[in-house]
Homo-oligomer: A and B are copies of this chain.
Amino acid sequence: MVLISDIIKHKTKMEIPITFLGTSQAIPTKTRNHTAILLQYKNENILIDCGEGTQRQFRIAKINPCKLTRILITHWHGDHVLGLPGLFQTLALNKYKKTLHIYGPKKTKKFIQEITKIFLPISRLKIKVHEVEGKFLKTPDFEISALPLKHGCPCNGYVFKEKQKLRIDKNKLIKLKIKDKTKIAQLAKGKTIKINKKIIKPSQLTYKQKSRKIAFILDTKICSNINKLAKDSELLILEATYSKKESALAKKYGHLSTEQAAQIAKKAKAKQLILTHISQRYEYKEKSLLKEAKKIFPNTRIAEDFMKVEV
């Protein structure tokens, strides 16, 4: 689809901001709150996981939580979900009017029912819960899919993928001196136009915009679906709960080590790797984790609370 609005307003390609609202493992530290990541795309504000204290992280990041449109839950371990009741209460207090869509693995409906029954003036908040696997959301702009991971309880990894779009090359418009908005609109609709007796086909002016893929794998041990989720991602966000030295613990407790995470990124031909879900044992020692990963996959970063990256 060619976007007329993009041509007329001369928009450039939009960045996709990802804000890390929490980056700790099970126990939070002075600098790291429990897991929560915000992906913003046009009018969509999608939260991936919602650990305890996430509503306050929104406040500190100066992002209004009422902008939220969807929440993707990876799994129902406390450190990934205990911020939900408080967030729901705050949305209700702030008269959130939209329907809040919550996606998660099996049993998500049961959990949401239980926590709202205890804590929420639920009648004041419209929540729609979806238990998902595979491609579960398609919009004109993007799609989101889920694949199960291995973590001792139902657990999803998620992929956000832009739809590939045909866009009009603004430089070519300028070169051909096409300024007439009606003509541009016709081109945008795929129609051939005539300017100064010259026939111009839409294919002469359009190009395929690169489709960006962002993968979220926040709690898992090694399994085949990791590679499917990670493959060719522009940004790969991976848990790395343990250092290379402690990879035996990673295996024992259903997690990844820094080394494993970097190998996944390399195999998947990801563009950039961000490690998160950092254990309290590495507080102020994150540089050594980074070093281990960079040896295998140089374009690696360690997530920090309130770090914002644009894809």
Given the complex, which residues of B lie within 8 Å of A78, measured CB to CB? 85-86, 89, 119
Contact A52 B111 (CB under 8 A): no
Q: Which stretch (A26-34, A67-75, A162-170, A238-246) binds chain B?
A: A26-34
Known: A115-B118, A118-B114. A55 touches B52 (CB 8 A): yes
> Is residue A178 within 8 Å, beta carbon to beta carbon, of the partner chain?
no
Give the complex CA separation of A53 and B27 in angstroms: 11
| B interface footprint on A13-54 (CB within 8 Å = 1, 0 otherwise) | 000000000000011111001100000000000000000110
Known: A26-B89, A89-B26, A118-B114. A56 touches B33 (CB 8 A): yes
How many copies the complex holds: the figure is: 2
| B interface footprint on A76-110 (CB within 8 Å = 1, 0 otherwise) | 00110011011001100100000000000000000
Task: Tell me the chain A residues, 244-276 only, with Cβ under 8 Å from chain B.
Answer: none
Give the complex CA separation of A90 and B82 in angstroms: 12
Given the complex, which residues of B lie within 8 Å of A86, measured CB to CB? 34, 52, 78-79, 82
A-B complex: 5 closest residue pairs judged by Cβ atoms: A53-B53, A28-B56, A52-B86, A78-B89, A82-B86
